Structure 1
Amino acid sequence: MQRRNVNSLMENKTMDKQTINAVRSRARVAIHTTGGRVTGQHHRLPVVYACPPVGGPVWPVTEIIQTFSGLRRVVKTSCIDGCTVVWQ
């Protein structure tokens, strides 16, 4: 079995299932240890949906304006150990 470097995976823009699960797991642990709650995950991408801790997200937050059917919504996201977290 050949081992691949995580940096080379990011350069190729491909991640295998085991790598995605490891990235999600690290993000889940980080969210739970700060008091947040994970509510779901994307089935193919390294994306986790979570509720922030009581004091708000501990990580830097990027606000994205999402337009759906003419309605605008601000979505807050963070990147934790290579995993995108969508705060709900």
Structure 2
Amino acid sequence: METSQNILGMLSGQLANAVERVGPALVLVNGRQRLPASGVVFDHELIITADHVLEREEDLSIETHADQTMAAQFCRARPGLRSGGAARAQPGP
């Protein structure tokens, strides 16, 4: 039983560390009425989100991990873009 608790404790710590590291890269995207969605900070001025999240191209905003709300601007949509398959997906640095 103690070994299981140790493993669960280590897993819990690792998950907490992962959330702490990734958290600042996640934002809330306000691009449709009453239904915000998530986005990922790709570059300091570029947020990537799903195509269906943006029902409008004006009056967009994001909310950061630090509870800051910022105006956002729609750049372009690529609804047919595919990643090439999860088998080739690799984590960043």
The structure with the largest alpha-carbon Rg is 2
How high is the TM-score relative to the length of structure 1?
A: 0.26
Instruction: Identify which of structures 1 and 2 has the higher relative contact order when contacts are C-alpha pairs closer than 8 Å and 6+ apart.
Output: 1
Write 1 or 2 for the structure with the bigger share of helix: 2
How high is the TM-score relative to the length of structure 2?
A: 0.26
